[in-house]
Amino acid sequence: MAKNNKGKDDGSSAIPTSRAGRFARMARMAGGVAGGMLAEGSRQLRAGKRPSTRDMLLTPGNARRVAEQLATMRGAAMKVGQILSMDAGELLPRELADILARLRDDARYMPVAQLQAVMREAYGDDWETLFYDFDTRPLAAASIGQVHRTISPDGREIVLKVQYPGVADSIDSDVDNIAGLLRLSGLLPQGFDIQPLLDDAKCQLKDEADYLKEAEFLQAFGDLLRDDERFLLPEVLPELTRHNVLAMTYVAGSPIDSIIDLPQAERDRVMTALIELMLLELFELRMVQTDPNFANYQYRRGTGEIVLLDFGATRRFKAGFANNYKKLARGAIAGDRAKVAAAAERLGFSMGEADSEYRELVLEVLMLVLEPLCTDEDYDFARSSMARDLSALAEEVRGYRDIWRAPPIDAVYFHRKVAGMYLLATRLKARVNVHMLVQRWLA
């Protein structure tokens, strides 16, 4: 961690850019975890207990070691942790899910010297002449890059999303190293084939690391919502955008969850707009921004506009997936569990044998997730027991690990977005008639 001129931690840390350097970080982390296990085993033996591998591994100290190292490395190592914490949290041991969950919002930013090297690579040695009042302290830092405020050559207030060095080139090795660590831990559920998710994560992360592609996604969403007064998006500056730096106009706003102090009607309006946008993305655009991080949404109190940020995790979906999801929704609304099961199987879910307890359990999970669609009235997310009930059902799922199979990849990413929207609606104590919204595409 870098120190400022008073010797205090300034919140930055150099990012290892070479594969060897990043592997060394992983090895150091593994060594620290092993040492922590030995220490915990000795402590338990002295206390007269017979320690299990699980108890020795899942200690607060080891949790801290894993989270801190992955947060320092950023890039794919951190992103895989984020993906697993949201997408497989109900299937992983709770302690491991908690370790990975710490990575959602915990990222260090680059020291100034490393930042300047990236800027020189993108714009040349005289890059500072292009921008006025460039702020070296980022507005935000995440797993792939960090955001800086500055003034463009034509005088506009803009932001530059600057990618961490070495991140794009280390995606394959980072993902493989994380996979190895998880397998060696012995904590992955038996029968949990993580490889398809990791292989797809490599492709998704390579797309996220291509800022020219993200610029295309941002432009597409901007075109789609140009006439929708509820939403406001930054505009891409193509002449200043590079493969590792995305230039956009600066759009100010307050954190989306700060509207909790606004009247119920306004909170309902905002959440209704966001859920309707999610449905529009899947059923019309077939291109979904799959990262539900609250930081990707802001609110402008003067106008009531919802600011949409960060389209790096945008994912395209095939027409077949969207159409089968419509069938899933129709079946749930009709209360027809046979139709729900048929649609789920077409989507790629493993439903087990007909009339089996496992099949009924999976159906129960799906019906619970689709519950907000099923009645033509405002769904009160804050009063709903959905999260608690899903957690209880997840405990039952753990009893079927011998027949459980990973859900289809597209469903994993879309449900990540759905879960994020439900969580935000709960945080805002919003009430939304989801049934009415979805009818537009089911009629």
Length of the chain: 443
Structure tokens at 115: 């930042």
The type of residue at 48 is G
- Specify whether the CB–CB gap between 292 and 275 falls below 8 A: no
Phi, psi of 308 (to 5 degrees): -105, 130
Residue 257 annotated as catalytic: no
Residue 139 CA to residue 113 CA, distance in Å, equals: 18
Three-point CA angle 310, 107, 152, nearest 5°:
45
Residue with tokens 């879910």: 349
Query: For residue 365, how many other CB atoms are within 10 A of its CB?
Result: 19
Residue 226 CA to residue 410 CA, distance in Å, equals: 27
Out of 87, 291, 310, 410, pick the active-site residue.
Answer: 291
Residue with tokens 């699980």: 54
Range 231-236 contact pairs with CB under 8 angstroms and sequence separation of 24 or more:
231/273, 231/277, 231/305, 231/306, 231/307, 231/308, 232/300, 232/303, 232/305, 232/306, 232/307, 232/308, 233/307, 233/308, 233/309, 234/159, 234/309
Residue 120 CA to residue 117 CA, distance in Å, equals: 5
Active site amino acids: 291
